[in-house]
Amino acid sequence: MIPALGLLVGLAAGLFLHPAVPLALQPYLPIAVIAALDAVFGGLRAVLDGIFNDKVFVVSFLSNVVVAGFIVFLGDQLGVGSQLSTGVVVVLGIRIFSNVASIRRHVFRA
């Protein structure tokens, strides 16, 4: 419950404080969002499975964001940024959907 509250607090802070995102980091934001969502749904599923571990969650979130950002950066340098972004989105998207399906099974038993 407290992490959910923290999520809401952070969301409100991001929306109302208007933090200035440096222009150089803006291309990585969409990928970072997808990676963060993947970590959040993975953590949620782990909670429902009864095997949640905060350290794993934090490390998975950070590594997801960093690696996704790095792949996009590398793609930009090589001139295939959009293709690599698509690849990251596909992989993380599939994971998000599978995790959500598992969460759904836990919550609704369906």
With CB under 8 A as the contact rule, the residue among 29, 67, 74, 107 that binds other proteins is 29
Nearer to other proteins, 13 or 107 (CB): 13
Neighbours of 92 (CB within 10 A): 21
Binding mask 45-74 for other proteins (x = CB under 8 A): xxx-xxxxxxxxxxxxx-------------
Q: Which listed range, 26-34, 66-74, 75-83, lies at the site for other proteins (CB under 8 A)?
A: 26-34
Residues whose CB is less than 8 angstroms from the CB of residue 57 and which lie 6 or more positions away in sequence, other chains included: 39, 42, 43, 46
24 sits near other proteins (criterion: CB under 8 A): no
User: Cα–Cα distance between 44 and 30 in angstroms, integer?
Assistant: 21
Nearer to other proteins, 65 or 75 (CB): 65
Using CA atoms, how far residue 25 sits from 21, 70, 104, in Å, is: 7, 11, 34
DSSP 87: H
Residue type, 83: Q
The binding site for other proteins (CB under 8 A) comprises: 1-4, 6-15, 18-19, 21, 26, 29-30, 32-33, 36, 39-40, 42, 45-47, 49-61, 91, 94-95, 98-99, 102
